[in-house]
Amino acid sequence: MPMTENELQKRDAARDLGAELLESVREMKSGRAAKIHNVAIAPVVSARMKSGLSQSAFAKLLGVSIRTLQDWEQGRRTPSGAAKTLIAIAERRPEVLREAAI
C-alpha cells in the first residue's frame, strides 16, 4: 500500500541524507557495494577480440562494411552464410584469421 504524503514527509524528516550519502561513498570506496554484472558479448565481438583485429580490419577480412560489422556487434543485424562460418573460425582458431589478414 502506498504511503500518504504525510507519511512520506514524516519518514523523510527523520532521515539524515548527508550521512546516508557519505555511507554510500564509503561503501563504494571499500568495495562492499560492488556488484558483479555479467555482460553477454556477441559472438562476433568475441571473435574479433580474439583475433586481435580492429573493426575495419575484421570487416575487410569478412568482406563487409564496417557499418555492417557494427550492426552485428550491436545486435541490430545477424550475420548469415559465409560470414557466420568465418566468425566461428575466428572464435575457435583466431590465429587462422590473423594469418589470413596478413
> In this predicted model, which residue has the larger pLDDT, 76 or 96?
76
Kindly list the domain boundaries of the chain, sorted by start residue. Answer: 1-37, 43-101
Of the given ranges (31-40, 57-66, 71-80), which has the lowest mean pLDDT?
A: 31-40
Instruction: Name the band, by pLDDT with cuts 50, 70 and 90, for residue 32.
Output: low
Q: Right CATH number for 43-101 from 3.40.50, 1.10.260, 3.30.70, 1.10.3470?
A: 1.10.260
71 Cβ contact list (under 8 Å, min separation 6): 77
Say what the pLDDT of residue 36 is: 67
First to last CA, the chain: 66
Exposure on the CB side of residue 47, measured as CA atoms within 13 A: 25
Instruction: Name the band, by pLDDT with cuts 50, 70 and 90, for residue 66.
Output: very high
Say what the pLDDT of residue 35 is: 66
* Residue 98 pLDDT > 90: no
Q: How far apart are CA 50 and CA 6, in angstroms?
A: 58
Q: How far apart are CA 93 and CA 97, in angstroms?
A: 7
Say what the pLDDT of residue 34 is: 60
The mean per-residue pLDDT over the stretch 96-101 comes to 78
Closest alpha carbon to 67 in 59, 79, 75? 59
> Is-contact 55 69, C-beta < 8 A?
yes
Mean pLDDT, the chain, as a whole number? 86
